[in-house]
Amino acid sequence: MTLLITVFAAVISTVIWYKGAPENEMKTGILCWMFWGASIMWFVDAIFEYKELGAEYFTPAPLDMLNDAFLGLSVVALGLIVWLVYLLIKDPKGAVRKALAKKK
Amino acid sequence: MACFTVPVAEAIVTTIVAKAVKSKEEKQHINLNGANTEIKESGKTPFSKKLGWLNKMLWLGSFLLAFEHLWHGEVIPTFPFLTAVKTGEVSEMLGEMATAGVMMAMLVTLVWAGIVAVVTVMEKKADKEPEIAEENA
């Protein structure tokens, strides 16, 4: 479930990046690399788990599934926070700098 | 257990390599400008930037994986930071790092190599297109 949610996040962020490319003003490229990187790593994890459990891997207990979904959503939230911090630090539109200059 | 540490180790190496490649590319650029050579804009992505893609996938991907390990209690905020070390399951942990960890790092690198190959082909094609258009005109 975590893998599935992360793959969806990776696909959605790639589509959003493509829509804004090549300007990439919102720095969404970072989200693509992050979610794709994590998806590949969890895919390997899934292969090893499948090797251990067999077909049982595809029929998880409801409680495990719920926990994995909760984890997946938390991972996406964490990824979005990392992106937001990166965006505000890089400030490609200069909005933060302008706002700070206005205060002075 | 600690499989994410293998991609982190690779990320450390590739980050150092990327920095070295970038400074080499900058030196080459300065030399060319200093010699007053006419530089033809090729529009090719520098290799240091391509290495940056791998770095981002490795660093950020392992960051999310580290969070998952923290979630499952495999990583702890106090020394020795890994539950497997605390409970004496070091050999199991090393075994997982050697199998799953190495495969994770290899697969990420393989995917990156694929992306770089596609980008290189596309750039070569884009470079050739104006020449073909000129020949046809």
B102/B104 Cα distance (integer angstroms) = 5
Q: Map tokens 């926990």 to a residue.
A: A67
Q: Do B108 and A74 touch (CB under 8 A)?
A: no
Q: Do B104 and A44 touch (CB under 8 A)?
A: yes
Total count of residues recorded for chain B: 137
The structural domains of chain A, with segments of one domain joined by +, span 2-103
Contact B48, B18 (CB under 8 A): yes
Contact B105, B58 (CB under 8 A): yes
B64/B29 Cα distance (integer angstroms) = 37
Q: Tens digit of pLDDT for each residue in A2-28?
A: 999 999 999 999 999 999 888 888 999
The structural domains of chain B, with segments of one domain joined by +, span 5-136
Q: Tens digit of pLDDT for each residue in A71-99?
A: 999 999 999 999 999 999 999 888 889 98
- Kindly write down the DSSP assignment for every residue of B20-46, as one continuous string: HHHHHHHHHHHHHHHTT-------PPP
ipTM metric: 0.91
User: Which of A2, A4, A6, A41 should we substitute to test contact with B (largest number of B Cβ atoms within 10 Å)?
Assistant: A41
Which residues of A are less than 8 Å from B63 in CB distance? Answer: 34, 82
Which of the four pLDDT bands, split at 50, 70 and 90, describes residue A29? very high
Q: Looking at the complex, report in whole angstroms how far the Cα of residue A103 sits from the nearest Cα belonging to chain B.
A: 34
Q: Do B99 and A6 touch (CB under 8 A)?
A: no
Which residues of A are less than 8 Å from B104 in CB distance? Answer: 40-41, 44-45
A24/A18 Cα distance (integer angstroms) = 9
CB pairs under 8 A between A and B: 74
Q: Do B60 and A6 touch (CB under 8 A)?
A: no
- Nearest-by-CA chain B residue for A76: B64
Asked if residue B37 has pLDDT above 70, the reply is no
Q: Map tokens 């599935």 to a residue.
A: A4
Q: Do A37 and B107 touch (CB under 8 A)?
A: no
Q: Three-class SS of residue B49? A: helix
